[in-house]
Amino acid sequence: MKDSNFLKENNARHVWHPMAHPADSQTNLPTILTGGRDVFITDVDGHEVLDAVGGLWNVNLGYSCEPVKQAISDQLNALPYYSIFRGTSNDKVIELSYELADFFAPDGLTRAFFTSGGSDSVEVALKLARQYHRIRGEAGRTKFLSLKKGYHGTHFGGASVNGNGKFRNAYEPLLPGCFHIPAPYTYRNPFNESDPAKLAQLCAAALEDEIAFQGAGTIAAFIMEPVLGAGGVMPPHPSFMPMVREICDRNGILLISDEVITAFGRTGSESGARHWSVQPDFMCTAKAITNGYFPFGAVMIAGHVAEVFEKDTSGIASIDTGYTYSGHPVGAAAALAALAEIRRLKVHENAAARGKELLGGLKGLQERFEVIGDVRGEGLMCAIELVSDRASKKPSAKDVPLKLQQAAYEDGVMIRVSGNNAIFSPPLIVTSDNVTKILSAVETGLKAVS
């Protein structure tokens, strides 16, 4: 390995980071990582910290998941690459499709279309939703509805349904025909409603209004995260997603569940849709599908949607989209091994139990630190929202969450900052001791900013 100074200087000189101003990483050196084990990561200066970010919501089984590493290594030796474009398939992708259909059977999802990551999965789901209506003779259904605060990746389709100007403004004009409704975000919402159940009803009513305004026959799909993640972790009231499902059904609109974060256990259930007892028409997955060790994703498709495509005899249902790395045999092998571990360890159960401990601990800190305006969480996705004044809910100054993050890091825990939120999404295998450590480092961070 090159020495620490070489790495720091050349990162500043040559690397442009996603989601960062290019000049920023020249002055604010990023943490350069060189190692990972169990739920810990090590930086170039030899500092080992507990990773309460879980990579980027994806290293759910930690950094020492030997079955996934072994599967990748074995597959590199067997068949390191081949495409699955029309005419070829591979043994691992077939086995994986079988296992995924079984895993997602309670969600009614029986077919898989493979991608290279979450943004790809969203793009494919949006395209297939339009195509579904076209096959059925409703080519006028082209629009998409989504939630403000939602995050659906960075491709043009996904950016268009994203509900945060930060990821849209520099790249406009985006896809026409995308409209956003208020998010079930209890702490701040345009209705000033602090009761989550009532807020869910208001947001569902806003969806109905928008459908009526646009005309149901012009809308292809509604896309949502079962728990808003990157926007700041906003779990809706349990009634919200079922209400959305019912509204979509009544209006012939497909429901895309964007589970790039929530699939495979993070909410405390095997999938976010299952968490809310909903069957979506499409489910976008990626991230934890390979434990983050290989870029890979899958769009899962409901049987009744798949049949519409499969029964077409005109040719209009040909899926004329896909990626060089769709169904990559190494990714498929990694996903097969990860899925087996996810099932063997029942990680969703640990996510539910440890998530309760983490949320309870964060609520305890809220009682002691005025700077915490709100605490939210579902399973092992939690956030604290930092404010400069509780009464007015004025967001904290920009440097406050960054200072908190720095102090927590120095105390041995990596956390993530998004706007005025500190976000926690540790691997789903964390222990109660790990949760205690996260909470004590957050406390250190809070003391540093209080």
- For the bound state, the minimum distance from the C-beta of residue 4 to ligand PLP, rounded and expressed in Å, comes to 28
- Taking CB atoms, the residue at the shortest distance from ligand PLP is 118
- For the bound state, the minimum distance from the C-beta of residue 122 to ligand PLP, rounded and expressed in Å, comes to 5
- Smaller CB distance to ligand PLP: residue 147 or 243? 147
* Residue 51: C-alpha distances to residues 54, 372, 415 (Å): 6, 22, 7
- For the bound state, the minimum distance from the C-beta of residue 159 to ligand PLP, rounded and expressed in Å, comes to 10
- For the bound state, the minimum distance from the C-beta of residue 348 to ligand PLP, rounded and expressed in Å, comes to 18
> Alpha helix locations (H) across 152-193?
156-161
**Site residues, ligand PLP (CB under 6 A):** 117-119, 122, 151-153, 225, 229-230, 258, 260-261, 286
DSSP strands (E only) in 289-366: 297-302
- Smaller CB distance to ligand PLP: residue 288 or 441? 288
Distance CA 255, CA 246 (A): 10
- Smaller CB distance to ligand PLP: residue 339 or 372? 339
- Smaller CB distance to ligand PLP: residue 117 or 329? 117
User: Nearest 10 degrees: CA dihedral of 325, 326, 331, 337?
Assistant: 180
What H or E segment, with its residue span, contains residue 386?
strand 381-389
* Amino acid at position 243, single letter: M
Distance CA 108, CA 53 (A): 30
Within the chain, what is the greatest distance between any pair of CA atoms?
66
- For the bound state, the minimum distance from the C-beta of residue 116 to ligand PLP, rounded and expressed in Å, comes to 8
- Smaller CB distance to ligand PLP: residue 61 or 122? 122
- Smaller CB distance to ligand PLP: residue 225 or 270? 225
- Smaller CB distance to ligand PLP: residue 19 or 23? 19
Tokens 């939630």 appear where? Answer: 147
Given strand 109-115, what is the order of strands in its sheet? 109-115, 297-302, 282-285, 254-258, 219-224, 143-147, 178-181
- For the bound state, the minimum distance from the C-beta of residue 146 to ligand PLP, rounded and expressed in Å, comes to 11
By the 10 Å C-beta count (0-12 exposed, 13-18 middle, 19+ buried), 403 is classed as middle
- Smaller CB distance to ligand PLP: residue 230 or 430? 230
- Smaller CB distance to ligand PLP: residue 117 or 268? 117
> Alpha helix locations (H) across 62-155?
66-78, 91-103, 118-135
Give a three-class secondary structure readout of 207-268: HHHHHHHHCHHHEEEEEECCCECCCCCECCCCCHHHHHHHHHHHCCCEEEEECCCCCCCCCC
* Amino acid at position 202, single letter: L
- For the bound state, the minimum distance from the C-beta of residue 91 to ligand PLP, rounded and expressed in Å, comes to 25
DSSP β-bridge partners for residue 115:
297
- For the bound state, the minimum distance from the C-beta of residue 151 to ligand PLP, rounded and expressed in Å, comes to 5
DSSP-assigned letter for residue 181: E
- For the bound state, the minimum distance from the C-beta of residue 78 to ligand PLP, rounded and expressed in Å, comes to 26
- For the bound state, the minimum distance from the C-beta of residue 316 to ligand PLP, rounded and expressed in Å, comes to 28
CB-based contacts of 339, cutoff 8 Å, min separation 6: 96, 99, 100, 103, 264, 289
User: Nearest 10 degrees: CA dihedral of 300, 61, 153, 82?
Assistant: -60
What H or E segment, with its residue span, contains residue 43?
strand 40-43
- Smaller CB distance to ligand PLP: residue 113 or 151? 151
- For the bound state, the minimum distance from the C-beta of residue 282 to ligand PLP, rounded and expressed in Å, comes to 12
Distance CA 94, CA 298 (A): 13
Residue 173 CB neighbours (<10 A): 8
- Smaller CB distance to ligand PLP: residue 268 or 445? 268
- Smaller CB distance to ligand PLP: residue 68 or 446? 68
- For the bound state, the minimum distance from the C-beta of residue 225 to ligand PLP, rounded and expressed in Å, comes to 5
